[in-house]
């Protein structure tokens, strides 16, 4: 660790959520700030939904450089941005706000980027994987939306499966329409759904499996959840965005079967990089020291 610096000219950012107590982002950004010796600070900001716009305007007035936005504000952040990047437009959600000097707000969605960057840093050649077969994505919530968008960008055929089938159908329609609108000249996105009770049987065709549901999460609806992976080909990559516990039953089952498995903590770390660069002006790295620092903090909770 290098030096902790904060002066009257400190660069300021934070994370807006409700609640925000669970967020690891303050620890991560302040760790990187100290490591780079940057004069800055990153704080947790607990803001109720009806105060979101007031809070953002207040942060701008106070000279903040921007903020991360987490549950339940990601759609409100999309609405407040004057300009959003294409992936955020398709996902319909924003998790990173940058306050520009001219007073306008730029919004981006970095969750999908974080997911793909984490696969790559786990040694998985994502472009090659996309040409090997479809990605089967479990869930249809906010995380599914961002990850599906990034997987489409990487050229995957994305197949959604969700307990409530209507949510998966709705998400496919929305993503398809938003993709065509953003990229009218590009090929149509390859998006489809399969039944929740039928996906285990289809695993032999898949190149990537990603769990974006809360199944397997400590304290969640089914912490012991581990599906039957016996139909998977030996090339299937299994990933989980749940990171408490760090090795979910799904990941353990995949490893025990000799499959490549990728955990959720790295997505959280990588999604933070674009914001850090925009607000504090430095590139960061998700190296062993960063992962160890955040792991230790998680284990103390």
Which residues would be at the binding site for ligand ATR (CB under 6 A)?
139-144, 162-164, 167, 212-215, 221-222
By C-beta, is 177 or 222 nearer to ligand ATR? 222
Name the residue nearer to ligand ATR (CB basis): 150 or 212. 212
Complex with ligand ATR: residue 105 or 144, whichever CB lies closer: 144
d(CA 28, CA 36): 12
Which residue is closest to ligand ATR by CB?
A: 141
Catalytic residue list contains 9: no
* Shortest spacing between CB 217 and ligand ATR, in angstroms: 9
By C-beta, is 103 or 198 nearer to ligand ATR? 198
Q: Is 162 left (phi over 0), alpha (psi -120 to 50) or beta?
A: beta
Q: How far is the CB of 141 from ligand ATR (least distance, A)?
A: 2
Least distance CB 22 / ligand ATR (angstroms): 12
Catalytic residue among 9, 57, 74, 173: 74
- Provide the minimum distance between the beta carbon of 251 and ligand ATR in the complex, in angstroms, as a whole number: 17
Nearest distance from residue 62's CB to ligand ATR, in Å?
Answer: 29
Among the listed residues 106, 26, 23, the one whose alpha carbon sits nearest the alpha carbon of residue 60: 106
- Residue nearer to ligand ATR on the CB measure, 154 or 167: 167
Catalytically annotated residues: 74
């Amino acid at each position: 660790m290098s030096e902790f610096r904060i002066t009257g000219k400190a660069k300021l950012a934070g994370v807006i959520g409700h609640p925000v107590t669970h967020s690891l982002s303050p620890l991560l950004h302040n760790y990187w700030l100290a490591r780079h010796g940057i004069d800055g600070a990153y704080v947790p900001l607990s803001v109720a939904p009806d105060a979101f716009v007031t809070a953002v305007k207040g942060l701008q007035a106070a000279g903040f450089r921007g903020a991360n936005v987490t549950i339940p504000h990601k759609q409100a952040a999309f609405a407040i941005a004057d300009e959003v990047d294409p992936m955020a437009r398709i996902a319909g959600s924003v998790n990173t706000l940058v306050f520009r000097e001219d007073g306008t707000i730029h919004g981006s969605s970095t969750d999908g980027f974080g997911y793909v960057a984490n696969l790559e840093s786990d040694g998985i050649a994502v472009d090659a994987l996309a040409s090997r077969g479809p990605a089967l994505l479990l869930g249809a919530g906010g995380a599914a939306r961002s990850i599906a968008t990034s997987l489409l960008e990487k050229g995957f055929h994305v197949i959604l499966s969700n307990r409530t089938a209507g949510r998966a159908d709705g998400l496919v329609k929305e993503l398809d329409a938003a993709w065509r609108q953003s990229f009218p000249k590009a090929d149509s996105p390859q998006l489809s759904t399969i039944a929740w009770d039928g996906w285990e049987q289809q695993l032999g065709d898949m190149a990537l499996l990603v769990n974006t549901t809360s199944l397997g999460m400590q304290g969640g609806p089914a912490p012991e959840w581990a599906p039957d992976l016996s139909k998977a080909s030996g090339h299937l990559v299994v990933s989980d965005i749940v990171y408490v516990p760090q090795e979910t039953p799904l990941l353990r089952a995949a490893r025990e079967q000799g499959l490549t498995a990728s955990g959720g903590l790295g997505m959280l770390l990588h999604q933070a990089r674009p914001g850090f660069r925009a607000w504090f002006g430095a590139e960061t790295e998700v190296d062993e020291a960063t992962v160890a620092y955040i792991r230790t903090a998680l284990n103390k909770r």
